[in-house]
Amino acid sequence: MSSRFFATGSDSESESSSESEEQTVVQSKSTVTTKVFAFSDDEEETKRVVRSAKDKRFEELQNVIKQLRNHKKIKDISKVLETFEDLTKALQKSQKVIEKEGGVPRFYIRALVELEDFVNETWEDREGRKKLNKVNSKALTTMRQKLRKYNRDFEAKIASYRENPDAGDDQDGAEDDRDKSDSDDDDDDEAQQQKKKPAAPAEAPDMKSQFLKGGDSEGSDDSDMDWPSDSDSESSDSSEPEGGYTNMAAKFLKKTTAAEEAAKAARKQEKKERKAREQRREEEEREMEEGEWTEVQRGAPMAMEKPKMFAKGTEINHAVVLKKLNEILAARGKKGTDRSEQIMLLAELRRIAEENNLGLGMTVKILFNIVASIFDYNPNIATCMKDEMWAKCITYITEMMDILIDNSNIFVGANVLEESEAIEAEPFRVRGCILSVMERADEEFIKMLQACDAHSTEYVERLKDEKKIEVLVVRLQKYLEERGTSQEICRVYLRRIEHVYYKYDYEHYKSADLIKKTVEQKVEEGKDGEEEVKDGEEVKDGEDEGKDGEVTPQEKGGQEAKDMVDGEKQKEKTAVIMDKLCKYIYAKDTTDRIRTRAILCHIYHHALHGRWYEARDLMLMSHLQDTIQHSDVPTQILYNRTMVQLGLCAFRYGNIKDAHNALLDIQSGGRAKELLAQGLLMQRNVERDPEREKIEKRRQMPFHMHINLELLECVYLVSAMLLEIPYMAAHEFDARRRMISKSFHHQLRVSERQPLVGPPESMREHVVAASKAMKIGDWRACRDYIINEKMNGKVWDLFPEADKVRELISRKIQEESLRTYLFTYSAIYDSLCLVTLSSMFELDGPVVHSIISKMIINEELAASWDEPTQTVVMHRSEPTRLQNLALQLSDKLANLVDNNERILEVKQGTSAFYTRQGEGRFGRQGKERHQGKERHQGQGGYHQQQGRGYQGQRRDRGDRDRDHRDRDHQQGYNRQQDRW
């Protein structure tokens, strides 16, 4: 409605409006509607400008380049990458314009050069790269690769620009300043338009003179006090749409003079200049700060002002410093407290105390508070400490340890009350526990490792700090051995054990290998010396008797090797250290947790270094397998890790059954990764609580303490193969055959379901293929599937003594393949020659003889040895295949009869009944089991209270049968005695 009203341009009741005027108003309607709502001078009229395609595309490119420069200033590399991709897309859109103009514009080449320099500088700044977060670090690598590839298309132009970068500055400046000049040009155009508007009526004086009285153009500008006549108002109303007013709103708006417009333009110009000066000043400050940003602290500002240390002229003494210390600590833990400022204040207070020689007691007390403030700097317990705070923490703890070790007159302890502290005079007594500080620092170190990406350089850099932690723990151990209690010594011993138990002593392994080679070499030299003596002249008996005290070359070599072994035993530091620390804890500890963890770490260390019997005996004597379920979760995780390492040690020793039993619980459920705290498993139908997930993440082991899960699974599957395949061959037709390893059977079933089985690729496929080869007695194919280059790289080379492990596996495969062959083909052969078996499986004759003898003794093989001919004679007491099938059919029929009887009982409603032969609903197989169950029931059973029920009858009948059997046995024994 408002547009119609303002578009009419004159009063509807005016009688003097002519037909030509109406036509003029209608024609001007389309031009006026765009300015209907211009009610204020502050809202400037917009002017439509027709721009070329080149200007549009180049402006789009310049806007993207401007964004790119802004992101580079704040070093937001992820945004730089996104903007660079937008820039390349914008250039693709502008290809037609660029082809017409003759090539890529120079300002675009300059942007590429600047971006390349920025990426190179950031990449070369190694310290700055370490401070980047994960997203920016990844974006920097991607940006560097993409930019290198992209700049290959512009190599010539980039090279020419780098040779003479100032050649096109005028053009570049014009392109860059185009945006800045646009607003100024718009202002100038508007000013010129406003100047032209009052002169518009003068261009048509004849037309205006027809409607104005006296032809005076100023006749319409009457003052407010003068009242015009009707004709004047009519003529003015009809002439105003064609004159200075473009709509009815402009007629009633306040008119601005030229002075006001000039002042307004001056104010705008001043505002622009002020804004430009502020931007230049901010850029200069950023350059001076070298791109560093100040992080805004979260939370409300501190309620109190920053306290001054001491007023001028104040005497610095213990009371004043303690008062100031309490003032600083009073703000600790409050919501608005600036934690970094609190640490700075405490450090400044320590400096003042040292300058005024207030004693070491005051210094230690302030150091305790500084370290506690650093621990409180991060309020979230789930996140780790920052790098700079960690460096400060280690520095202060080291200084504290230096003071406590060098000065025996300082006593610190958590049991020292604040009232009983002695800071002013020796001996100093300070409240604080250095052991708790060290334990908290160790926990923070573990959290920092958990927060790092395990495959990044950051993790390696952070892991280097473990040496500092170990040095501090060793120094604390020496300090507490002199001044601490037995419980504190046990705690620090456990802390050191947990830093040692999982590390393999490679120096010991190398020295042991060197000792073995040296011993063999010395023994060989001794044998050569003896042979030379025998080949030479004969030695007289008298000379031999005179040389009884001399040492032969063989004895000399053995003695040197023994001395070398004794020397290396002294150097075997980790084993000696673990033995010493753990035995002290076994004797002195009063808590179950520390002792349990020490035992588990000791077993783990034994198993890691191949001391199988020590590790096994310690595990059996501790009886931890019976009580571990009552321990806390971290201790249960340590128990799982120990059992896994024990199984790997048993496998290296050739104890396949022990290895399988140790790994069974961890591998059977498919949750080895979670049970060993090496990662979280996503379960399908289980939703994790966020709090519980955070707790589980805090329990995860650092990456350098992980056990290789693929190695673990391979050892378990190979152990199961060596046990399961001979067992399956021995009980091929047994319907009640049990499974030794369910996961191994699952892998076999998965392989059998596949319609087309190709060559093995993964570790599991190699084990399955080896199992199929062992079934048919092809031990060479089985060995080749288990031991090859691919399996060596994935699994076997990870063992410390890889060659020995491979030899052991090869020998075990030969032995178990022999047993499988005998179980499979014993029903076919009447006899087997020992020499043939030995050559077939490439085993020594005594080894084959031993294996077959054990099978005969354990009643696994019905055969006997024929010693003169060295053959194994089969007795054929085992049922044939047809007999086995008949036995299976009879068992199934018996089960079917029992099921039918149970269904009949349910229908008739009877609980139990027996026939004359003593058979009932339990069937022939369950009769004796039911009798045994009733025989072991209490004397006050329900059936016995009812009188001589069926249980009593069955018991009487069983007693009579037993008496008859005993009498028959006694009579037979007596007849045998008489025959003798």
The amino acid occupying position 439 is E
pLDDT tens track for 546-561: 444 444 444 444 454 4
Q: What is the pLDDT of residue 686?
A: 67
Determine if residue 102 is left, alpha or beta; phi over 0 gives left, psi from -120 to 50 gives alpha, anything else beta: left
Give CA–CA dist 81/146, Å, rounded: 9
Q: What is the mean pLDDT of residues 899-913?
A: 74
Q: 153: closest CA among 108, 101, 214?
A: 108
- pTM for the whole thing? 0.58
CB neighbours of residue 357 within 10 Å:
8
Length of the chain measured in residues: 980
pLDDT digits (tens, 9 = 90+) for 312-340: 777 888 888 888 888 888 888 777 778 88
CA gap 748, 751 in Å, rounded:
5
Under a CB-based contact definition with an 8 Å cutoff, are residues 713 and 762 in contact? no
pLDDT, tens digit (0-9, with 9 covering 90-100), for 879-891: 677 888 888 898 8
Question: What tens digit of pLDDT does each residue of 518-540 get?
Answer: 655 655 655 555 544 444 444 34
Residue 356 — φ and ψ, nearest 5°?
Answer: -95, 10
The pLDDT value recorded for residue 961 is: 52
> How distant, in Å, are the alpha carbons of 39, 73, 305, 920 from that of 9?
16, 55, 67, 116
Other Cβ atoms closer than 10 A to 247: 24
- CB count within 10 Å of CB 327 equals 13
User: Where do we find the tokens 């806007």?
Assistant: 63
> Is 399's pLDDT higher than 90?
yes
Q: Which residue has the tokens 């789930």?
A: 382
> Which of 223, 111, 219 minimizes the C-alpha distance to 172?
111
Characterise 667 by phi-psi region: left (phi > 0), alpha (psi -120 to 50), beta (else): alpha
**Residue 304 reports pLDDT greater than 70:** no
| Interval 421-464: pLDDT, tens | 888 888 889 999 999 999 999 999 999 999 888 888 999 999 99
pLDDT for the residue numbered 813:
93
DSSP 8-state class, residue 758:
-
- Percentage of the chain beyond pLDDT 90 is 27
pLDDT tens-digit profile of 931-979?
444 433 343 333 333 333 333 444 444 455 555 455 554 444 344 444 4
- Give the pLDDT band of residue 815 (cuts 50, 70, 90): very high
Here the tokens at position 954 are 């069955």
Report residue 591's pLDDT band, with 50, 70 and 90 as the boundaries.
confident
Q: What is the pLDDT of residue 41?
A: 45
User: What are the residues whose beta carbons fall under 8 Å from the beta carbon of 340, sequence distance 6 or more?
Assistant: 297, 377
CB atoms near residue 708 (< 10 Å) = 14
Q: Please give the pLDDT value at position 501.
A: 93
Query: What is the spatial distance between Cα 823 and Cα 837, in angstroms, rounded to a whole number?
Result: 14
Residue 769 has pLDDT above 90, yes or no: yes
How many CB atoms lie under 10 A from the CB of residue 244?
A: 14
Higher pLDDT, 848 or 220: 848
The Cα 414–Cα 436 span in angstroms is 9
Taking CA 161 as the corner, what is the angle to CA 160 and CA 163, rounded to the nearest 5 degrees? Answer: 65
Cα→Cα distances 33→19, 186, 251, 512, 963, Å: 22, 21, 15, 100, 125
Work out the pLDDT band at 156, boundaries 50, 70, 90: confident
